[in-house]
Every structure is written in structure tokens, then in C-alpha cells.
Amino acid sequence: MIEIEARLDELKALGLGRRTRLVSGPQGPHVVLDGKPVLLLCSNNYLGLADHPRVRTAAADAAMRWGVGAGSSRLVSGTMTIHRRLEERLAAFKGRETALLFGSGYLANAGVIAALARPGDVVFSDALNHASIVDGCRLSRAEVFIYHHCDVEHLAWGLAQADGRGALIVTDGVFSMDGDVAPLGRIVELAERYQVRVMVDEAHGTGAVGPGGRGALAAAGLEDQVDVIVGTLGKSLGSYGAYVACDRTMSKYLVNAARTFIFSTALPPPAVAGALAALEILEEEPRRVEKLATNAAAFRAELEREGFDLQGSSTQIIPLVVGDAELAVRICDRALARGVFAQAIRPPTVPAGTSRLRLAVMASHRVAELTDAAHTLAQAARAAGFDPRTAPRAGTAARAGTAARAADTDDGEWTDDSAWEEHEQSWSDPDEPVPMTLFDGESAAAMRPFDHEAPAPVARAA
């Protein structure tokens, strides 16, 4: 039995203690946090639609017309007119035959992966995929090959070693802690070559990147080249819930096989109506997506002028990697004291040695306040003992070290149980991924995938 107090003391000593912060008012660019007004730089309300008057009104009207709750699961009596209407609009928006609503992005990822992969199959998962993808892999009880982050050479090697047992490649489109974009074109090419399905989580891409905010797949011209697109209603669309866009055959299968769909109460009508209104605004006002991109580019440029290494971010998500967990918290606290809220992200959310401030830009920010925020963050960092101009590139070094260690060991090796147990802890934020060192030890103990004696491509070591 876990000694709760002792475990809490241990987490505090490691600089990994967490607590909730109280936000008063809606999720706008400025909020009152624990009683103090601050600039908000860690909300996923990317387009500023969570508090849009039309979205609020739609949710309120839906509560009056359909009630607050759906009352049942989708397969009993919980599928209402408003659910079907949003599914049709989402399918059209994503350019797919149909869409299926889930209770949350977590439920969508966990349910779809577990439905598409079975024991004996192999799921190929990016090392920095979201925690819900990780848990979906575990629930499937399939074997899992964790390929190095965005490393298509490593993925190709794993597919070749799978001996025809591959079932699914799964990746985030935009990675939630790094702000970089998956190499989707190369992934689709590999999937076609090895005859495996592809699933892309567009949670942080929908409404934020691509033409009209349709996501990273649309930006790459690949919307119809993957089997499953997962998206969320709780970020750019300002509401709550998730969807899966796919063809009709896949949708029928998920209705019958995705346990998180079958056994969950349907989304509340106000949340569905709010998301529908937000989607309409997104389609009517694509300039919001352009404004988000403009804001993000201006903020990245100013942060780079301050000396920060942005780790290759090209989107509205910007990591300021500082390395040490306690240092990240100190910078967060000093920025808060100066009126800027940028949350510190620490292990096990990110790999050890890559603690960071994870910044999120909104279309409703002003460029001038983002410029000021970049200066404030630099001042807070220096006050905490971290000079972005002279500090070593902790995140880059850590990633290179991880790749080098992997190149020196068994390629495609499962992570064993000891790595998981060392950091056994629930994630405090559903938007945070689990690092590659904390993965599927249960399945690792059950079976060994692939030929570990086979050499990896030389390019991987770089």
C-alpha cells in the first residue's frame, strides 16, 4: 500500500509537487489568478472562442432546449439531434465521410487505439505522444514500438522488423509540449508501403494550423490519406469533448468496438452546441487562424531575440526548456510576480532534464503584450539564475543524449517496468504527454517484439 504522506513528501523534495491554481472569470488573454490579474500564456483557448458571445449564447440556449445533460450513453438514449448536427458539420470541416463524438480527447484516443489494435498486433507510437495515446496502447494489449520523436528512419526500421504484424501508426499532428509538427507525409508513405493504418491526433492542430484551421494534415494535403483523425472540442473550439473523423465503415466499427464510446455518457447538449457555434465562427472568420499565426510568429521572434532556444517550435505552442524542475518552478513564480502566467512543466510530463515553461499563444492576445511578455520572461529567468543567452541548450542536449543511448542499445526495445515504477504518478494535466521513458512496461514484460540483433540505420545515431 502506498504511504500517501510519504509519497507527497518525496514529490515535494524532488521539486515535483503540484497544486491547482484558481482562475476567476473566463479563459481570456487576461485572467485573475489566485486573486491577481495576469497575462495568460498557458491556455489552449487558441482562438479565443471559449468566452465568445455567440458560443456562450448557443450553450445557454441548448441548455434551455435540450437540458444540461444527455442522460445516457450514445447507444442507449443519449444520441440527440444536436450531437448528430455537430458530427455532420465536423465531417464536412475535416473532409471525411463522417465523424463520431466522444466524451473527451482522452476517451477518443484510448478507445480508438484499443479498438484498432489487439494482442499480437504492433502499434508504432511517437516517443512524445500524448498520455491518452500511451494509455490507449496499454489498453489494447498490443505490442508497442516507440520510435524516436519524429524520427522516420527509426519508424521505418521498426516497421521492417515487425514482420507484417503492424496494425497502426499513431502520432500527434502538433506535439503539445514542443509545438513541432509530425512528419506526416513520410509517415503516410511508410504506412502505405507496409500496409498499416494511420491515426493522427489533431488536438493542437485543429483551428490552429493548416488552411482554414483544418489542421496539420490539411496543411500537408493528407486529410484523406489517413484512417482516423482525432480532434478535440476543448481547445480551439472553446468547449469540451472530442471527435473522430473517418469513413463510414470505420465509424460503424468504432460504434461497436470502442469501449470508451459505448460505456460513456453522451456529451452534454450545451457543450455540443457551444462547439457547433465555435466551428461556425471558425469557418466564417478564418482570419482568427491567421491572427493566431501572426501572434505566434511575433512571440517566437521576440523570445529568440531574448536568447531562448525554442526547440524547433513552429506553432502557437512554444517551449522554454530550462532543464531543472525546481528552476522551471522558480522562473514560473518570478514571471507570475511580474504579471505573466506561464506554467512550469516537469517530469513525468516531460523527460528528466527537459523541464520547461510551456507557452501557449491565443489569437486574442495583442502583439505588443506578447513582446512585453517575452522581456518579462527573460527577466524572470535571469532573476531565477537562468540566462537564456548563455545557458546550455538543455532540451537539445537531453534529446540528443536520449537518441545516442537508444542507438547504443536494443533498437525498438520496450521500456521495462522499473522505468515506469520509478516515476509512477498520475499526470496532472490531460494536455501533457508522457515521456518516452515511461511507457508500456506491462506489455514489455509479456512479450519481446522484433529482432533486437538487427542493426539500426546509421542515420539514427545522429
Instruction: Let me know if 94 is a catalytic residue.
Output: no
User: Are the C-beta atoms of 255 and 83 separated by less than 8 Å?
Assistant: no
Q: Which of 83, 94, 204, 365 is catalytic?
A: 204
Instruction: Let me know if 204 is a catalytic residue.
Output: yes
Q: All 3 cell numbers of residue 44?
A: 489552449
User: Are the C-beta atoms of 127 and 82 separated by less than 8 Å?
Assistant: no
Instruction: Let me know if 24 is a catalytic residue.
Output: no
Report the Cα 63 to chain-centroid distance in Å: 30
Q: Which of 52, 130, 148, 235 is catalytic?
A: 235
Q: Which of 125, 176, 239, 251 is catalytic?
A: 176
- Give the span between the Cα atoms of 370 and 358, in whole angstroms: 14
Classify each residue of 272-297 as buried b or exposed e, where b means 16 or more C-beta atoms within 10 Å of its C-beta: bbbbbbbbebbeeeeebbebbbebbe
Residues 6+ apart with CB under 8 A from 215: 94, 173, 202, 205, 206, 208, 209, 223, 229, 231
Q: All 3 cell numbers of residue 208?
A: 490552429
The residue among 375, 384, 407, 404 whose CA lies nearest residue 323 is: 384
What is 234-280 written as a DSSP string?
SSTT-SS-EEEEE-HHHHHHHHHH-HHHHTSBPPPHHHHHHHHHHHH
Where in the sequence numbering do the catalytic residues fall?
A: 176, 204, 235
